[in-house]
Chains A and B, each alone.
Chain A
Amino acid sequence: MLAERLAKDWESQAGRTDDVMRFTDAGLVLGAGTVLAPAGASPRDVSVDPRDPRLAVLLAAAHLGAPTPTQLAHLAKAADSRRAREDALAAMHLALSGLSRLARPGADAHRLFLTDGLLRAGVDPGVVLAAILPVAKYDPDQPRVPAGSGRASGQWTAGRGADAEESKPNRGPSRARGGRPARAASPSREMSSPSPRASIAQQSPPPPSGEVNPATVAPAADARFVPGSPYRGDDACLVALRQCIAHAVEDDPWRNGAANDNSRLTAMRIQDCIRTEDRCVDTSLTVQHSRRRMLGVAHFTDGGLVIMETGEEDLYFPARPRGKYPPMRRRS
Chain B
Amino acid sequence: MRAPYLAAFCIAAFLATDSKSATMPDDYAFPPWQAAADETAVADAKPFADCDETLAAYAARSSGAVSGRTYTRSPQWGWVLRAKLAFSDRRGPYSFLVTCWTGAPSDPTRVGLATQLESDNW
Contact = CB atoms under 8 A, between A and B. Distances in A.
B54 A286 contact: yes
A317 B22 contact: yes
Contacts of A87: 90-91
Contacts of A279: 62, 87, 96, 115, 117
Majority secondary structure of chain A interface residues (helix, strand, loop or mixed) = mixed
Given A285-B61, A286-B54, A297 B121 contact: no
Interface string A302-315: 10010100000001
Interface residues of B, number: 30
Given A279-B115, A297-B30, A286 B58 contact: yes
B121 A286 contact: no
Interface stretch (A27-35, A128-136, A160-168, A270-278): A270-278
B2 interface: no
Given A87-B90, A295-B110, A301-B119, A286 B57 contact: yes
A122 interface: no
Given A299-B116, A301-B119, A271 B58 contact: no
B89 interface: yes
Contacts of B20: 226, 228-229
A234 B111 CA distance: 20
A302 B22 CA distance: 14
Nearest to A301: B122
Contact of B61 (A269, A286, A294, A302): A286
Given A279-B96, A286-B61, A295-B28, A271 B113 contact: no
B90 A301 contact: no
Nearest to A299: B116
A275 B117 contact: yes
Given A282-B58, A285-B61, A292 B111 contact: yes
A294 B54 contact: yes
Contacts of A228: 20-22
Interface residues of A, number: 40
A226 B20 CA distance: 9
A297 B58 CA distance: 13
B94 interface: yes
A301 B120 CA distance: 10
Interface in A3-41: 22-23
Contacts of A302: 122
A25 to B, nearest CB: 12
22 contacts: A87-B90, A228-B21, A230-B22, A272-B121, A272-B122, A275-B94, A276-B116, A279-B96, A279-B115, A286-B57, A286-B58, A286-B61, A287-B113, A290-B54, A294-B113, A295-B111, A295-B112, A295-B113, A296-B113, A299-B117, A307-B28, A317-B22
Interface of A: 22-23, 87-88, 226, 228-230, 265, 268-269, 271-272, 275-276, 278-280, 282-283, 285-287, 289-290, 292-299, 301-302, 305, 307, 315, 317-318
